[in-house]
Amino acid sequence: MNSSAQGSLPGVRRRTARLILLAVAGVALLGCGLAYVHFWLARPIGEGAAGPAVPRERFATVWTTRKVLLLGLGDSVTAGFGVRGGYGYFDRLAENPADEIAEMRGICLRSMLPNLRTQNLAQSGSTSLDHVDRLRSALARQDAQTLGLVVITSGGNDLIHNYGRTPPREGAMYGATLTQARPWIAAYQERLRTMLSLLEDRFPGGLHVFLADIYDPTDGQGDASNAGLPAWPEGLQILAAYNEAIRRVAAERKYVHVAPMHDAFLGHGIHCTQFWQPHYQAADPHYWYAANLEDPNHRGYDAIRRLMLIEIAKVFTGRPG
């Protein structure tokens, strides 16, 4: 080997080492970028069933042959906003769609209640203030032979509208402090009582009400800014106060039952992929909300349908204990 060749070897080695370091750094940066996208930006929806298993044994025989009116009341969640007809939770409570997943075929209210009618009074964008008026104007008094089966989602829009674009007020509280919100929370509680009194009047033959509490797309973190919204420092406290109002009012009447939507959706919001979060759902680390953050996606509606069916089945087949 001549002297010029020998002298070039250290330079070649240095260049090779630099290239290797650059490649390793590039791979590391790519990995960091992919991890950031996955854990902070991605909101995978997943496929298949969502939510708790519904016990099929409670759907083995007809519950009652009475006339039953399944009534929907509330906001876009009960209206089924964002999914095609027949796939909102209200519709799937009543009847299985043609392409129903195998485990849920035959598990619907029409199978258990042969004299079932349905009426959905829910309106997208409505608040609890609207729901009282809607009941007064749109629901006729039923005959004494009809049992009322009422499903309600009310209050979510009270909290999130108008996403901080206007100063907080009753019915559009986003950005409020807890002190500001206290009279509005008390008024919400009274509106729930008014709704229930109106329902009692409209169903002289009796009724059961299934009132969903309000979910939290931030998975308990309260960091709405990570969803592109203005920060709301006391938002979680106000949400908790609304849910406490729902539970207080439900506890006052034996025919009112709470559907635990809040707890069921934890871990399926904007932090669904973050395994270090306290509500991470390893069995289904997917997003159950629509792009607008306030409504469910198709899997979220499946989960609500299951929550409602479980609570309804407990009533008709006897609660454990």
pLDDT tens-digit map of 82-138: 999 999 999 999 999 999 999 999 999 999 999 999 999 999 999 999 999 999 999
Cα atoms found within 13 Å of the Cα of residue 308, Cβ hemisphere only: 32
pLDDT digit string, tens, across residues 132-161? 999 999 999 999 999 999 999 999 999 999
SS3 content of the chain, % helix, strand, coil (to 5): 45, 10, 45
DSSP reduced 3-state for 300: helix
* Overall pTM surpassing 0.75 (yes/no): yes
Half-sphere exposure of 112 (CA within 13 A, CB side): 23
* Mean pLDDT of the residues in the chain: 91
pLDDT at 29: 58
DSSP symbol at 41: I
User: Strands 207-212 and 146-153, how do they pair?
Assistant: parallel
Local confidence band at 32 (pLDDT 50, 70, 90 cut-offs): low
Can you give the length of the chain in residues? 321
| pLDDT higher than threshold 50 for residue 320 | no
Closest C-alpha to 243, from 261, 217, 225: 261
Q: Which residue has the tokens 């979510």?
A: 156
> How far is it, in rounded angstroms, from Cα 63 to Cα 114?
9
pLDDT mean over 200-212: 98
Give the model confidence (pLDDT) of 121-132 as tens digits. 999 999 999 999
Q: Is residue 142 left, alpha or beta, with left meaning phi > 0 and alpha meaning psi from -120 to 50?
A: beta
In this predicted structure, what is the pLDDT of residue 177? 98
Question: From edge to edge, which strands make up the β-sheet containing 256-259?
Answer: 116-120, 67-74, 146-153, 207-212, 256-259
Q: Mean pLDDT, to the nearest integer, of 229-245?
A: 97
Q: Which two tokens stand for residue 58?
A: 């409670």
User: What pLDDT, in 10s, does the model give residues 173-182?
Assistant: 999 999 999 9
- DSSP letters along 224-292, please? GGGGTS---TTHHHHHHHHHHHHHHHHHT-TTEEEE-HHHHHTTSSTTTT-TTSTT--TT-----B-TT
